[in-house]
A and B are shown apart, each in its own frame.
Chain A
Amino acid sequence: MPFGINETMGQYSELFMLLAAGTYTVAFIAFAWDLAKSSKALRAVDLKAAQAGAAAKVPVAAGVGAGSSGARLDGPADRAERPSSSAKAGGAGTGVVTADGDMKYATERRVPARVAVALTVLAAVIHGAGVVTRALGAGRVPWGNMYEFLTTGAFLVAAVFLLSLIRRDLRFLGTFVVGLVIIMLVAASVAFWTPVGHLVPALQSYWLVIHVSIAVLSSALFTLTFAMSALQLVQSHRQKTVGADGVDKLGFMRLVPSALSLENLSYRINAIAFIGWTFTLMFGAIWAEKAWGRFWGWDTKEVWTFVIWVVYAGYLHARATRGWTGTRAAWLSIVGYLCVIFNFTIVNTLFNGLHSYSGL
């Protein structure tokens, strides 16, 4: 073996993971605070607008419309690619959605959200240190068992989320994503904890680096779209009920873009993740051919990887089939993610198969 085990490094890694989980928790609270505070502020604005609007309804709406377009710098090019983006003209009146359909950053500052993002960045840095020290401690890539897969996967979820924040205002996803990251870290430490160790011979292959890294990355992307699809369902339900009787019980959802914007963005991320999953499947088959002598043998893990692939393929097709867009597509995306979770937890631990490398 070229690299030895460094137990001290492994202990540092676990300390980092613990610290990261703690920091994520504070970030989670900040994100939740942001949602609560912003929705409160929005309600107050609503109330004022309603009072003022009773006297002069038209000027308010017009003023808001002009204000929102004036705040935008990118001009006509960016206007209304989709019918949905008219949502941003809804303004502070009685609009169902305040958030920008394009998920671009608005001008007003949301202090709690900024704090939350900063905390998430800090947590991710600590988390990254945990992943790196784990890799150094084991002298190899940090995804050789379920503990490592989960901790590295959670790090990627956080990293992808933070990276996408650079271009899009997805802070409304914060509570959801950071919450999932915390769950993943806790699950890893409580249920799947494994000390640093060498790989079994079956895993000693460069395909481990290729196959598993793409699998983790795709899973991280699927995690993001799962959050979006879940929000999409809530939002679409809310848009319907608020549209019908005007009572808005989920005020904080105004910070979340419209269901259609969510659907469009999650479709784009799912498309990337689907390509990643296709590679996972393919590279897995190539590795299986090298390790076991056949590229496909309906091993339980292969079955579920295939099922996930088919479900997301169905999702992509559903988007092009009338009557299957919107809510149904969101459900397919959620079912796909549930399959990912099932594949990771139940199949790894309870099913017998060639992929029994949980390290438990």
Chain B
Amino acid sequence: MTPADAGPPTRGAGGDELLELTAGQALSRIEAGDLGADEYFDAYADAAAGDELNAYLWRAERGGGDAGGENLRGAPIAVKDIFCTEGIPTTAGSRILEGYTPPYTATAVARLADAGARVLGKTNMDEFAMGSSNENSAYGPVLNPWDRSRVPGGSSGGSAAAVAGRLAPWGIGTDTGGSIRQPAALCGIVGLKPTYGAISRYGMIAFASSLDQCGPLTRDVTDAAILLRAMEGRDPRDSTSVGIEGGVELPSREDLEGLRFGVPRELAAGAEGIESSVAENFKATLALIEELGGELDEFELPSTRNGISAYYVIAPAEASANLARYDGVRYGARDREADDLLGMYERTRARGFGAEVKRRIMLGTYALSSGYYEAYYGQAQKVRTRIAQDFSAAFERFDFVVTPTSPTVAFGLGDKTDDPWAMYMNDQCTVPMSLAGIPAISIPSGLAEPEGGGPQLPVGFQIAGRAFSESRILDAAFALEQRIGFG
């Protein structure tokens, strides 16, 4: 399925066979004694050391330190640089945190370590997770391993590029409006945004607290289930975390008999902004769902038309409050030239934040300011209610809602940087699920030609379900993944 000249560069000749295994396959080999845990880790430490995609901001040495648990058998994992890691630099892609080394570790990462995983590296990202192309990193853009003149998506672009480019077996990221699913789609891998509350946000640097959620970026659906299972659960340090009742089952389903899939007119083939080759691929994937016995029906999610508008009030509003903490007092950079406190705050923040972060802080501050609060923030929260209600109604008829993950395949570096709204529209199909708090997965559904021509690039297919229905989503995604046979 993957043409040798368009695939990730480490594939094929010269590619190490070890790096082609899914993490689940490698774990089985380690368990059977056919592969050494250190050999596996070191193969990736070597691969990551040769990173030409700018996917990593920090990399572990060979050997990688001790693993805390058994299940994940010392496997290496790429961790988005938004997760605090004790003793390992954590920047969130921002100059304002350059050189910051947290005194504690995020719960999600600690759980992975407790299960036996070892941090392979910290991955590049859009500054404070604000972006859909990774071009907002203070440490330079990440390149898409399928075509280095194109973006990997964002904001978890470093994790996505590392996993697709054979620089990591799997990784974790965060998704506020699509930041796991969209880069997964653009890089041809699996990305899962769990239900809000499934995984603790403790130690995950906050962007928009009512939306942020941690999740896996992996080579296949099984690997996503393995990571979700290791990370989910209630954490006393995050009062919004509740975990997934009944835990997470590894997927095994082979057909889609009896399952009902809803196709929302506002977000599917034919909707405004969806590139034609993406729409074609989406329709072909719907045909595969029918072949597997799934039932399809079109329906409407009318309030999602206002999804991006509501999101770009709510997320910046929450961000403007969350990012108030970067003031040069307790950690991070400080401007030394100002001689009074207010001047120190203003100059520290002016020099520490990049253009997109400033734009969102300004937008959020404006939306929350006296006289505008009801018209913007209050109204956006009501749109959010409507979107959640639309989904609740949909799930009375359907088991799943399916859409293309991204309206386009990977676009060129610099193509959308001059038009913030065009960049925001990359998330038109992923933002509604975030606002509703429901889980959604993106799986690769084949290749499509970019608008304007060029080698074919990966397309993502999104499957969303009811809150805490991760095991069912993973099962359906698994059946479809086997039928698609990508990679």
- Bind each other: no
> Which of A's residues lie within 8 Å of B, judged by CB?
none
